């Protein structure tokens, strides 16, 4: 490294002047580094530097930077026609095509060009960094530096420590990333690294719920977005990314984890990819899109009126028993104390399905429904039918639950509602990331919020719901399905058993 004591002003090379390369050039040039950009396509690097300059120039128009600062940043960026121009670089970040052989060849060529102390980093999102490093003479100076699109706005990057990466290499990459205003999270060289790994649960469990005919894609999205605070539901996200792209990521992470059942892709996906239902880009995915790209909203269910005087029983153990009682009284119900006298019985189980809950309290499942205690009742209500709930009881329940204007999602019998199942899966995967030391707890929590836009870190979210409740949901799912994907992480089991929080200080692990 030319100036190892001061990493605030390095010479950084960026190879690959596409979507990601441009963002990386902009980030480091704005942070005060000298940046050299190279691309195999003649003229591509010059075009990229012009593009970046025009993006930064907007900051002058908006008064965010002065014309003088703009000139300085512009002066720090240089387009290269030949790779040998990268010879003085302290760090080179590669953002070329996602192909192992092409990347390995490039890294070998780069090693021959740069100085002995230079660091080579790959922006790969799916390859094993050690596979790239294995082609190099100095693997200790090779790491991953995984940014997200758009780079200047997605304020997080993963520093991937491959098995032979030196701590100093990790520290330098962390330093330049944090110096550029991004949160650098350190992760092991494991499939999906940290963020794509932690993000699996939303998709796998969302798909599983639809596969089991528990709810429709739009029901799943509505509940998770409105009641749990996700920016988008899994099906909206899949439509945005494109199922052709996402299906490959799902399959690759599953295979790289030696067919770990937690990441098993859904059989719903392949036929939809074959049919070209990719999402927004093909005009139809889980949703249909009109000519302007606007989502065609699915038809909402026909509203029914609540039959006044209907006998309603509310499980006294329900988390929101008082709220439910008020709602029933206001809707004109006759609230009864004995469930056997009720036309409609309402429960709020954690983990158990509606049928099991009815049988547990000795009631006829035909007159029972359950409502999710996890989602705030004032935002959206998820109402679960038993296997035999009558159409009369179902219509009365829907009429009751939307009588004050709050939207209702009707789901079929399932151990855990939409939100319970998805949240338990997300928390369980995060617990396993912590258990395996793929990242520190602090990095995991920040990475998920910054990289996936979740309103909370997954372990803190688990603490808010309650570790023992998460465990109950997983065990109920495991018992109901026999599927090992629901087996709880040891991290979760121990902490739930001991009554300890899931967010454990890293020093205390
Ligand atoms: P891109 O297709 O927009 O750009 C790739 C650029 O690399 C092109 O300009 C191409 O001419 C150049 N290139 C290809 N082979 C080269 C070689 N041997 N030497 C020099 N230049 C070469 O690709 P994009 O989307 O920027 O992705 C780049 C890398 O970043 C990939 O590894 C990808 O997996 C990863 N990535 C992409 C993200 C995204 O959202 N696009 C997000 C995170 C990582």
CA–CA separation, 491 vs 509, rounded Å?
10
pLDDT at 2: 47
Q: Which atom of ligand 1 is nearest to the CA of 44?
A: 9
pLDDT tens by residue, 452-486? 999 999 999 999 999 999 999 999 999 999 999 99
Sign, Cα dihedral of 69, 73, 76, 80: negative
Q: From ligand 1's centre to the CA of 18, what distance in Å? A: 5
Distance 24 CA to ligand 1 centre (A): 11
Cα 39 to ligand 1 centroid, rounded to whole Å: 10
For ligand 1, atom 37, name the residue with the nearest CA. Answer: 20
Check pLDDT > 50 for residue 430: yes
Instruction: Let me know: does 94 contact 121? Beta carbons within 8 Å.
Output: yes
pLDDT score of 154: 97
Residues of the chain with CATH 3.40.50.720: 7-189, 311-411
| Alpha carbon nearest to ligand 1 atom 31, residue | 98
Active-site residue flag, 252: no
Catalytic residue among 94, 158, 205, 445: 158
Phi, psi dihedrals of residue 423, rounded to the nearest 5°:
-65, -40
Helix (H) or strand (E) holding 342: none
Q: With bands split at pLDDT 50, 70 and 90, how would you rate the model's confidence at 1?
A: low
User: Which atom of ligand 1 is least distant from the CA of 126?
Assistant: 34
- Give, for ligand 1, the residue of 37, 95, 452 to mutate: max count of ligand atoms closer than 8 Å to Cβ: 95
Helices (H), 154-216: 167-179, 195-198, 200-211
Percentage of the chain lying above the pLDDT 70 cut: 97
**What's the confidence (pLDDT) of residue 3?**
43
Residue-wise pLDDT tens digits, 200-234? 999 999 999 999 999 999 999 999 999 999 999 99
Report the pLDDT averaged over residues 157-185.
Answer: 98
Ligand 1 pocket test, pick from 13, 18, 135 with the greatest ligand atom count within 8 Å of Cβ, gives 18
Ligand 1 atom at minimal distance to the Cα of residue 124: 32
Length of the chain: 509
Q: What confidence tier does 304 reach under pLDDT thresholds 50, 70, 90?
A: confident
Given a contact cutoff of 8 angstroms between Cβ atoms, the answer to whether 61 and 73 are in contact is: no
* Predicted pLDDT of residue 505: 84
Q: Which two tokens stand for residue 191?
A: 């499939």
Neighbours of 294 (CB within 10 A): 10
What are the start and end residues of each CATH 1.10.1040.50 domain in the chain? Answer: 197-282
Closest Cα to atom 42 of ligand 1: 148
pTM for this prediction: 0.95
Superfamily name and number for 311-411: NAD(P)-binding Rossmann-like Domain (3.40.50.720)
CA 135–ligand 1 middle distance (angstroms): 19
93 C-alpha to center of ligand 1: Å? 11
Crossing angle (nearest 10°) for helices 467-481 and 490-498 = 130
Catalytic site residue from 125, 218, 252, 357: 125
The pick from 14, 16, 98 for probing ligand 1's pocket by mutation, whose C-beta has the most ligand atoms within 8 angstroms, reads 16
pLDDT digits (tens, 9 = 90+) for 278-298: 999 999 999 999 988 899 876
Is the pLDDT score of 137 beyond 60? yes
197-282 has which CATH code?
A: 1.10.1040.50
Q: How far is the C-alpha of 433 from the C-alpha of 196, rounded, in Å?
A: 12
Closest atom of ligand 1 relative to the 21 alpha carbon: 26
Whole-number pLDDT of residue 506: 80
Identify the residue whose tokens are 């199922």: 243
Q: Catalytic residue among 45, 196, 246, 403, which?
A: 196
Task: Determine whether the shortest distance from the Cβ of 44 to ligand 1 is under 6 A.
Answer: yes
Better-scored residue on pLDDT, 4 or 472: 472
- Give the active site residue among 45, 94, 146, 182: 146
Ligand 1 centre from 84 Cα, in Å?
Answer: 20
| Across 307-320, average pLDDT | 96
Q: Is the pLDDT of residue 174 over 60?
A: yes
Strand order in the sheet with 34-38: 77-80, 34-38, 11-15, 91-94, 119-122, 142-146, 156-161, 183-188
264-272: average pLDDT: 97
Taken in order 307, 356, 337, 405, is the CA torsion positive or negative?
Answer: negative
What separation in Å is there between the alpha carbon of 98 and the centre of ligand 1?
Answer: 7
For atom 28 of ligand 1, the residue with the nearest CA is: 95
Report the percent of the chain where pLDDT is more than 90: 94
Q: Distance between CA atoms of 42 and 15, rounded to whole angstroms?
A: 13
Question: Which residue's CA is the closest to the ligand 1 atom numbered 43?
Answer: 148
Give residue 301's pLDDT.
65
**Tens of pLDDT along 393-428?**
999 999 999 999 999 999 999 999 999 999 999 999
Q: Ligand 1 centroid vs 160 CA: distance in angstroms?
A: 18
Mean pLDDT, all residues of the chain? 96
- The answer, yes or no, to whether any atom of ligand 1 lies below 6 A from the CB of 240, is no
pLDDT, tens digit (0-9, with 9 covering 90-100), for 40-98:
999 999 999 999 999 999 999 999 999 999 999 999 999 999 999 999 999 999 999 99
d(CA 43, CA 409) in angstroms, rounded, equals 54
Mark whether 125 is an active-site residue. yes
171 in catalytic set = no
CATH fold for the domain made of 7-189: Rossmann fold (3.40.50)
Rounded CA separation 59/23 (Å): 15
């Amino acid at each position: 490294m030319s100036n190892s004591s001061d990493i605030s002003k390095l010479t950084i090379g960026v190879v690959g002047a596409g979507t990601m390369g441009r963002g990386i050039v902009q980030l480091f040039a704005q942070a005060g580094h000298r940046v050299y950009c190279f691309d195999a396509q003649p003229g591509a690097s010059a075009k990229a530097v012009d593009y970046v300059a025009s993006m930064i120039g907007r900051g002058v128009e908006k008064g965010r930077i002065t014309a003088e600062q703009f000139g300085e940043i512009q002066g720090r960026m240089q387009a290269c026609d030949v790779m040998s121009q990268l010879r003085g670089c302290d760090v080179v970040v590669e953002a070329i095509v996602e192909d192992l052989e092409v990347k390995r060849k490039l890294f070998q060529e780069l090693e021959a060009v740069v100085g002995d102390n230079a660091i080579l980093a790959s922006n790969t999102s799916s390859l094993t960094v050690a596979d790239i490093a294995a082609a190099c003479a100095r693997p200790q100076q090779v790491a991953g530096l995984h940014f997200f699109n758009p780079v200047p706005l997605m304020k997080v990057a993963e520093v991937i420590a491959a098995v032979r990466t030196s701590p100093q290499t990790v520290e330098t990459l962390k330093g330049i990333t944090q110096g550029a205003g991004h949160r650098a999270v350190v992760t092991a060289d494991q499939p999906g690294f940290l963020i794509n790994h932690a993000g699996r649960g939303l998709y796998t469990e969302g798909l599983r719920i639809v596969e089991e005919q528990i709810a429709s894609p739009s029901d799943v999205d509505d509940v998770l977005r409105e009641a749990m605070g996700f920016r988008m539901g899994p099906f909206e996200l899949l439509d945005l990314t494109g199922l052709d792209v996402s299906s490959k990521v799902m399959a690759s992470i599953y295979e790289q984890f030696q067919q770990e059942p937690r990441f098993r892709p859904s059989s719903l996906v392949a036929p939809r990819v074959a049919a070209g239902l990719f999402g927004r880009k093909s005009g139809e995915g889980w949703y249909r899109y009109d000519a302007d790209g606007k989502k065609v909203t699915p038809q909402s269910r026909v509203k029914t009126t609540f039959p006044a005087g209907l006998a309603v029983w509310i499980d006294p153990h329900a988390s929101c028993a008082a709220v439910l009682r008020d709602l029933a009284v206001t809707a004109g119900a006759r609230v009864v104390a004995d469930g056997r006298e009720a036309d409609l019985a309402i429960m709020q189980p954690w983990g158990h399905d509606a049928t099991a809950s009815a049988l547990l309290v000795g009631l006829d499942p035909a007159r029972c429904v359950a409502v999710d205690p996890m989602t705030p009742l004032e935002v959206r209500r998820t109402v679960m039918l038993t296997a035999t709930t009558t159409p009369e009881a179902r219509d009365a329940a829907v009429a009751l639950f939307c009588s004050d204007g709050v939207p209702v999602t009707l789901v079929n019998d399932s151990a855990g509602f939409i939100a319970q199942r998805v949240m338990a899966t997300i928390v369980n995967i995060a617990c396993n990331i912590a258990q395996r030391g793929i990242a520190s707890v602090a990095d995991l929590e920040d990475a998920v919020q910054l990289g996936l836009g979740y309103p909370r870190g997954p372990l803190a979210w688990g603490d808010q719901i309650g570790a023992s409740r998460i465990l109950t949901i997983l065990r109920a799912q495991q018992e109901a399905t026999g599927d090992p994907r629901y087996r709880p992480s040891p991290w979760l089991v121990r902490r739930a058993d001991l009554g300890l929080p899931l967010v454990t200080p890293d020093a205390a692990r």
